[in-house]
Structure 1
């Protein structure tokens, strides 16, 4: 592809740690006493590159749930205020493109290497499902120092 920016060669473990650190920082800002899904960052191919290019990114999806919807709304408001105070740049704050038009915040880390997509799901009181904030924290695309694609999953 023409106009494609050069992909940096970076240490895979360092990228994974930076993504997980960003997730932890976001969780601290949420400051809700709910449950959090257990997961760690994992490698996925960058779709805009040919698979033989061995270009990938770290992805860390998680959610916080088990607290009242009003608490989650306040947590989203905290993100709006505290992410920019910590150097993050909010690049989207509004409804997502889904049919449900979920409130969504997309923010980029101070160094520009990590992005967070945060969505608020408020379930009706009679619903058996829990309201939650769904987070997906990803790194930018990179090549591993070893030059081989990491194991995924």
Structure 2
């Protein structure tokens, strides 16, 4: 359930779920360049968080971009989480992210409780430089679940297009 929520949220953030409303043509970018951008952003976010702990990170994934031809158009999602850290330290990290992300080219769209029943602390941001969106949520599960509390990160690109003569390389 949680994974589906994150994937749905990333599609909404990146604009790949409902692209028909946009007249802007997708930016042309090689898949390897987009992957490198996602890794760079993830490293930047981890540095700002600045906490030891365990990471779940499968790396950036190439996904279809709505109904567009997947041989030419794609988006990139990078989902990971940090856990095994005291919740109080994660709360401080969220404040740090809110304060420091703008200096790295991110525009904060929202900082506060999300729409879930738990009202988890959420930060959403966008960068127009490379057309990525970001959603970071502090999932405080103390006393509610055996699952660990964590900071969950969903980073996604806008819809992108490979250069003429290239195909999407998964």
TM more than 0.5: yes
Displacement of 1:52? 5.7
Q: Which stretches in structure 1 are left out of the alignment for 5+ residues?
A: none
Mapped to 2, the partners of 1:28 and 1:125 lie a distance apart of 29
Conserved? CA contact 2:72–2:167, under 8 Å: yes
2:114 to 61, 83, 96: 96
Please say which of residues 16-25 and 103-112 is displaced more in the overlay.
103-112
Conserved? CA contact 2:31–2:168, under 8 Å: no
CA distance 1:147–1:30, shift in 2 (3 Å): same
Superposition pairs for residues 113-152 of structure 1, below 5 Å? 113-125=131-143, 127-145=145-163, 146-151=165-170
Aligned CA RMSD, in angstroms, stands at 2.0
- TM-score, scaled relative to structure 1: 0.88
Q: Judging by fraction of residues, say which structure has more helix.
A: 2
1:85 to 103, 107, 111: 103
Conserved? CA contact 1:144–1:150, under 8 Å: no
- Give 1:19's aligned residue: 38
Note the alpha carbon deviations across 1:40-90, whole angstroms, 9 max, x for none: 10101122x434673211110000000111010000000010101222110
- Give 1:38's aligned residue: 57
Q: For 1:26, what is the secondary structure of its paired residue? A: helix
Conserved? CA contact 1:69–1:123, under 8 Å: no
CA distance 1:45–1:126, shift in 2 (3 Å): closer
CA distance 1:109–1:150, shift in 2 (3 Å): same
Q: Which stretches in structure 2 are left out of the alignment for 5+ residues?
A: 1-19
Task: Report whether the alignment pairs 1:63 with 2:81.
Answer: yes
CA distance 1:25–1:124, shift in 2 (3 Å): same
